[in-house]
Amino acid sequence: MTYEFLVMALLFLVPGALMWLVRGDLRWLMRRTVLASLPFAATEWLFYPEYWAPRFLFGLADLIGFGLEDVLFVAGLGAFSSCAYAVAFRRTVVPRGNGARPWRRAVGGIAVMLAVTGLLLAGGVPILYASVAAMVVCTLGVLAVRPDLVRPSLLGAAVSCVIYLGLCLLFALLVPGVFERTWRPSLLLHGRFLGVPLDELLYGAGAGLAATALPAWAFQLAFTPLEPTSRNPRAPHGPPAAPPGPPPR
């Protein structure tokens, strides 16, 4: 196939779409995470062609620095990585605190993550590792003030990495030899797992770590065991009211 990244981006929309269909209680979180993820689509120029060299629709990466595929990819990745922990471990989200100025917190978190990435790039760190390190650093900052998110974040990273691996394996079946043709040789993590570059799995785990912790911190949410009625696809657009007592873990 010619447009490998388009195939990959469309595949990455599938897990989030399935979660959207079966978990109406998480749609509120998913919508906001996807919206907050979209600015990262414009960072493709940092990856292309240093990290990989796919062909883009209409050659947009050469014209403006990113393509339509990037928008689809970050939307899909943000959707499933933000909800991977909740779906896998039967959790839902409830408010924690008054949720004052959540978007200011979200924008601040994005700005810090981009700033850390820029500093690491200026120090000579390759973009893939700089972006993962920025996600880890920002997540550690969140976990310092929200220790209740440590376990969800670590498990979210693990589940997201497994989903990411599965999507990459399916991608390799649909486009044989794509990782050998399109990806540049790894600078640090030499080798592959089931044919998938270890760099990609590192990125998938980092995305799951950050996407579990940062939205919960920005929108002041906590994870709590799923009630049977919480799966209702007609659930309200916002999170359910918090139960009395201390914030759930």
Q: Domain count of the chain?
A: 1
Return the half-sphere exposure (C-beta side, CA atoms, 13 A cut-off) of residue 96: 19
Is 176 among the domain residues?
yes
Rounded CA separation 81/15 (Å): 9
Name the residue range of residue 153's domain: 4-231
pLDDT in tens, 116-137: 999 999 999 999 999 999 999 9
Please state at what angle helix 150-174 crosses helix 198-218, rounded to 10 degrees.
140
Is 240 among the domain residues?
no
Contact in structure between 129 and 123 (CB atoms under 8 Å): no
The answer, yes or no, to whether residue 59 has pLDDT greater than 60, is yes
Higher pLDDT: 5 or 97? It is 5
- How many separate helices (H) and strands (E) can be counted in the chain? 10, 4
Question: Quick check: helix, strand or coil at residue 119?
Answer: helix
Contact in structure between 76 and 9 (CB atoms under 8 Å): yes
Q: Residues 192-217: what's their mean pLDDT?
A: 96
Is 241 among the domain residues?
no
Give pLDDT, residue 96.
84
| Most distant pair of Cα atoms in the chain: their distance | 56
Is 31 among the domain residues?
yes
Is 242 among the domain residues?
no
- Name residue, tokens 């009625």: 229
Is 239 among the domain residues?
no
Q: Distance between alpha carbon 88 and the CA centroid of its chain, in Å? A: 16
Is 248 among the domain residues?
no
Rounded CA separation 147/124 (Å): 32
List 95's β-bridge partners, or say none. Answer: 221
Is 174 among the domain residues?
yes
Q: Which two tokens stand for residue 201?
A: 């799995």
pLDDT confidence band for 163 (50 / 70 / 90): very high
